[in-house]
Amino acid sequence: MNTAKVIPFRRDHPEQPAPMRNAVVALGGGGARGLAHLGVLEVLKQTRVQVERYVGTSIGALIGAMCAVDDNIQRVQGKVMGFLDSPGFDHHQQQLFGSANVPDENANTGIMAWYDRAKYLYSAHRRLTRAVTQQSLLHDAMLTASIEELIPDIEFADLSMPLSIVAADLRSGHRVVLESGSVRTAIHASMALPGIFPPVEHNGMLLCDIGVVDSIPTAVASAYASDLTILVDIGQRNARMEKFDTAMDVMMRMQDIGEQILRREKTELADVHIRPELTGVSWFDFQNPEEVMERGRTAASEEFARHSFFRTGRTGHADAATGNHLDVQPPSENVRYR
């Protein structure tokens, strides 16, 4: 008897697993909170999604570059943990913050947190004269030394994985996407916090960290994505504020509001939005790196569970399956690729 005729719904062959998916991963800025990126990427490596490019801003540029150099996330995590435990890193922290107690920033978010840190640096290190006569409050030696410890002296062409690093050009006013030349220089430019570290001269541009106003590089990432765009957002959450004692307080608060609005709009460009719960973790707080990584793992696991294309079986996201980002073009205004 031909059972296929009697039981017409019977399949001669079992259903095949869904094909591997590809994703461009956008890694946002946020200082020490960027350790959560390592937890997110660890969980991502366990799914059926293959990373095809990293796009990073500030600390996201550093983590993305490390993963583009070495695809083994456990080795990358080990290298970061070893660096954070080193006497050299402790020396850099002492240079940055001195022996004074670190102020509490938990009440402030986004650019307000950076502003509070800048005010602290003015006071603790007595750099008022430097602030009005030079480009930055601090020299970039500690930033350079940190990058050199974690990233080999290679060019973008030598990377095993495509990488895009986003910064701002002070001269032209454009967002700049760096994809050629020295990887270390590009990371340095993307991490040069305006006013704190000096901007970086590079190919006629004067580059600095764009993260204080545009902390998630989703627009650039979605322009490259042939399938999925995954965003890892480690920015501060917008907290209510009551007191605005100076004109500077009002201006900086408006910048903070602008950054939050822009972040919300940028998240709409991503197919998957991962935002670890990082309340209480300040941008300079490297004291509990494993805890921050674990928060990244938790957020990634929870978000991936909502999407069937991270698991074996039939995909349930029709738009992603058609690769609807294939024809997306990068914004032409205020963007330059170098």
- The set of catalytic residues is 58, 209
**DSSP letter at 223?**
H
CA–CA gap between residue 211 and residue 12 (Å, rounded): 55
Tell me the chain's radius of gyration from C-alpha atoms: 22
CA–CA gap between residue 271 and residue 70 (Å, rounded): 25
Contact partners, residue 63, CB within 8 Å, separation at least 6: 27, 34, 37, 38, 41, 56, 76
Q: Do residues 149 and 88 lie in contact, with contact meaning Cβ atoms separated by under 8 Å? A: yes
Q: Using the CB atoms, write b or e for 150-173: b if 16+ within 10 Å.
A: bbeeeebeebebebbbbbbbeeee
CA–CA gap between residue 68 and residue 231 (Å, rounded): 17
Contact partners, residue 155, CB within 8 Å, separation at least 6: 180, 181, 182, 183
Q: Do residues 192 and 292 lie in contact, with contact meaning Cβ atoms separated by under 8 Å? A: no
Q: How many CA atoms lie within 13 A of 19 on its CB side?
A: 6
CA 326 to chain centroid, in Å, comes to: 23
DSSP string, 238-266: --------SHHHHHHHHHHHHHHHHHHHH
